[in-house]
Amino acid sequence: MKLPDEVGGYTGLLPLDKPPSEGGSGSGGLGWAGYRGWVYKAWKEGEGRCYMLRRIEGFRLQHEAAIAAVEKWTRVRHPGLVGVREAFTTRAFGDQSVIFVYDFHPCSQTLYEAHLSPLATLPPNPWSTPLTHHAHHGGAAAHAAPYRSAARPALPSTAGGPGGGAGGAGTSPVLPERVLWSYVVQIASALKCVHNSALAVRTIDVSRILVTGKNRVRLGGAGVLDCLTWDGGQSIPAHQQDDLLSFGKLIIALACGSTSAVHNLPKSVDHISRMYSPDLKNVVLYLLSKPGPRKTIEEVLVLMGPRVVDELNSSLVAEDTIEHELMRELENGRLVRLLAKFGFINERPEFDHDPRWAETGDRYLIKLFRDYVFHQVDETGRPVTDLSHVLTALNKLDAGVDEKLMLVSRDEQSCLIVSYREIKNCVESAFADLSRS
Ligand SMILES: Nc1ncnc2c1ncn2[C@@H]1O[C@H](COP(=O)(O)OP(=O)(O)OP(=O)(O)O)[C@@H](O)[C@H]1O
């Protein structure tokens, strides 16, 4: 069926669903309380920003309050949660559908797609070496998903756990311990925020949690079941207990590399004890324990203790790395602006008869500087294409340093000793003149 051109102010709909043959969850699309779900990327009119639309097909809304329940989610903001924007009903697809709008995260995959699908597209354990984040410049994965270049560098695990090794219950490789803990801490932190907001996620599942970057995870699909199975919110405490149970099952699936591992708990727990440090097993056993008022996400966080600090440290290292990369980009941005100014002012035909650009004029410096930067030749007359010379000269010009350089005319008959600062002033005034005229 042709997709509508516009739905509730969103246009350019692009389907994101993946069939099982391409690593999709294979839930048959009926994973939403028996309703079929579809996912689209779309642009909000007038905003120029992308969003993710989750459409639940053929759902007839019985109570206005059911859709209003989603509003609570729009106020919950957490780095571990795919942000919920709004929900509305529509007939634009030729049926009665409900649309849930979420923040869009480019190049994301579900945990299932990344680690458990037979076609898992994340390279197995790409973070297993602390140097991984430097490798993105040339790596194949970087070409496929440049977004991943802002990867969180891996910190060495302080746990003394095995951190990888032989495959477990399934076909996928076992996740290194530090990656698993990173996921666990992020999910626990998001759960705490959600539970403290008197809500329950209800979608703690490998096919609903998104992985972006190297080990950033976000809980997706929030609010959908609250709307589809609306009961006035009375079951939230029970759903919160279910969240904890599902969290335990999720850890088992990831640790054993298989979604079916949860069906053989003794074997799976045994596998976890052998492959990971004891505190992971303790967290799993607590999460799987009998629901009760004293079983809370706060208690889970207490059990995790030092792992939370490890995660904080990784996060600080990642922040430093990104800040460093950003500084370099900032420098590039300045240089592009400078080059653009050069582009505007160099070789303008209307300057040809302007005495300021003639050999005795002050603007002549700019011409000679351009030759100095880009048109140098070696002793055999071959062009010098040394990018570092260009970058050094442009950076000095941008900073307007007092260092002097010698500019030589093309006929080599005259030379001028000037400072970068003087040339910078010349460029600025030439550009200002142009902008005014
Ligand atoms: N917020 C998001 N931003 C960007 N991409 C997303 C987002 N949520 C999901 N995706 C992408 O859409 C794909 C499909 O998502 P998901 O598996 O949740 O939907 P689905 O296939 O319709 O699931 P189901 O069939 O169980 O309803 C995922 O692989 C993921 O890459």
Q: What is the mean pLDDT of each run of 10 residues along the chain (437 residues)?
A: 92 84 56 92 93 95 90 96 97 95 95 88 41 32 31 37 37 76 97 97 96 92 95 93 97 95 94 94 96 93 92 92 92 92 85 76 87 92 93 95 93 90 93 86
The DSSP secondary-structure symbol of 147 reads G
Tell me, using a 6 A CB cutoff, whether residue 110 lines ligand 1.
yes
Pick the closest to residue 54 from 207, 200, 249 (CA basis): 207
Tell me, using a 6 A CB cutoff, whether residue 40 lines ligand 1.
no
Tell me, using a 6 A CB cutoff, whether residue 365 lines ligand 1.
no
Q: How many other C-beta atoms lie within 10 A of the C-beta of residue 223?
A: 25
Cα of 206 from ligand 1 centre, angstroms? 11
Cα of 110 from ligand 1 centre, angstroms? 7
- Contact predicate 307/279, CB 8 Å: yes
Q: How many other C-beta atoms lie within 10 A of the C-beta of residue 195?
A: 20
Q: Which is it for strands 37-44 and 10-15: parallel, antiparallel or unpaired?
A: antiparallel
- What is the per-residue pLDDT for 162? 34
Read off the pLDDT of residues 107-154 as tens digits, 9 standing for 90 and up: 999 999 999 988 775 554 333 333 333 333 333 333 333 323 333 433
Q: Can you state the angle between helices 265-275 and 278-288, rounded to 10 degrees?
A: 150
C-alpha–C-alpha distance, residues 414 and 407, integer Å: 9
Q: Which is it for strands 415-419 and 216-219: parallel, antiparallel or unpaired?
A: unpaired
- Please check if 103 is assigned to a binding site: yes
DSSP-derived 3-state class of residue 6: strand
- Please check if 109 is assigned to a binding site: yes
Tell me, using a 6 A CB cutoff, whether residue 104 lines ligand 1.
yes
Tell me, using a 6 A CB cutoff, whether residue 31 lines ligand 1.
yes
C-alpha–C-alpha distance, residues 55 and 88, integer Å: 10
C-alpha–C-alpha distance, residues 353 and 368, integer Å: 17
Q: Which residue has the tokens 């051109």?
A: 5
Pick the closest to residue 79 from 176, 192, 155 (CA basis): 192
Tell me, using a 6 A CB cutoff, whether residue 25 lines ligand 1.
yes
Q: Taking the complete model, does pTM exceed 0.80, yes or no?
A: no
Tell me, using a 6 A CB cutoff, whether residue 101 lines ligand 1.
no
- What is the per-residue pLDDT for 410? 82
Cα of 16 from ligand 1 centre, angstroms? 6
Q: Sign of torsion, CA 19 91 81 11?
A: positive
- What is the per-residue pLDDT for 250? 98
Tell me, using a 6 A CB cutoff, whether residue 224 lines ligand 1.
no
Q: Can you state the angle between helices 297-304 and 236-256, rounded to 10 degrees?
A: 30
Q: Indicate the top mutation candidate among 39, 203, 216 to test ligand 1's pocket, ranked by most ligand atoms within 8 A of CB.
A: 39
Domains present along the chain, CATH in parentheses: 6-304 (1.10.510.10), 333-436 (1.10.287.3700)
Cα of 158 from ligand 1 centre, angstroms? 34
Q: Which two tokens stand for residue 420?
A: 């970068």
C-alpha–C-alpha distance, residues 191 and 361, integer Å: 69
Read off the pLDDT of residues 185-206 as tens digits, 9 standing for 90 and up: 999 999 999 999 999 999 999 9
C-alpha–C-alpha distance, residues 204 and 113, integer Å: 15
The DSSP secondary-structure symbol of 377 reads B
Ligand 1 atom closest to the Cα of residue 36 is: 27
- Please check if 202 is assigned to a binding site: no
β-sheet bridge partners, residue 383: 377
- What is the per-residue pLDDT for 18? 72
DSSP-derived 3-state class of residue 356: helix
- Contact predicate 49/43, CB 8 Å: yes
| Sequence-separated contacts (24+) of 24-30 with Cβ below 8 Å | 24/113, 24/117, 25/110, 25/112, 25/113, 25/117, 25/206, 25/207, 27/207
Tell me, using a 6 A CB cutoff, whether residue 80 lines ligand 1.
no
Write out the E strands in 91-219.
97-103, 109-110, 209-212, 216-219
β-sheet bridge partners, residue 43: 11, 50
Q: Which residue has the tokens 């006929």?
A: 411
- What is the per-residue pLDDT for 143? 31
Tell me, using a 6 A CB cutoff, whether residue 207 lines ligand 1.
yes
Nearest CA owner, ligand 1 atom 31: 109
